[in-house]
């Protein structure tokens, strides 16, 4: 299984009236979006545009630090709707 991220961007900043130079670091990190796809044996099995990649990484890191992570499934409950 392979996870692929491409086309990174900060597409929500303009909605907030900010540029990347003006935005606080925490806003930049949470606004990072990318096209995420999952591939199995050379076939794309799932793809999502504007996926909150940095938010996923943050929550995965927290989950992996939990000693019970080996026995619990991971789930991402994003604070923004996925398009």
Give backbone dihedrals phi and psi of 29, rounded to 5 degrees, phi first: -65, -40
31 belongs to a structural domain? yes
The DSSP 8-state label assigned to residue 32 in this structure reads -
79 belongs to a structural domain? no
* Residue range 25-56, pLDDT digits in tens: 888 888 889 999 999 999 999 999 989 888 88
81 belongs to a structural domain? no
- Cα–Cα distances (Å) from 12 to 19, 31, 38, 70, in that order, read 10, 6, 24, 34
80 belongs to a structural domain? no
Split at pLDDT 50, 70, 90, the class of 76 is: confident
1 in Cβ contact with 38 (< 8 Å): yes
55 belongs to a structural domain? yes
In the chain, the number of structural domains is 1
Rounded distance between C-alpha atoms, residue 77 and residue 80, angstroms: 9
Give backbone dihedrals phi and psi of 77, rounded to 5 degrees, phi first: -110, 90
Indicate if the alpha-carbon torsion angle 22, 25, 26, 32 is positive or negative: positive
30 belongs to a structural domain? yes
Q: Is the pTM of this model over 0.85?
A: no
């Amino acid at each position: 299984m392979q996870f692929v991220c491409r086309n990174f961007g900060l597409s929500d900043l303009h909605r907030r009236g900010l540029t990347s130079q003006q935005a606080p670091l925490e806003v930049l990190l949470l606004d990072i979006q990318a096209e995420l796809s999952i591939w199995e044996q050379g076939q794309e099995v799932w793809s999502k545009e504007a996926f909150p990649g940095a938010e996923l990484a943050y929550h995965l890191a927290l989950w992996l630090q939990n000693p019970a992570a080996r026995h619990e499934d991971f789930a991402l409950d994003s604070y923004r709707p996925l398009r």
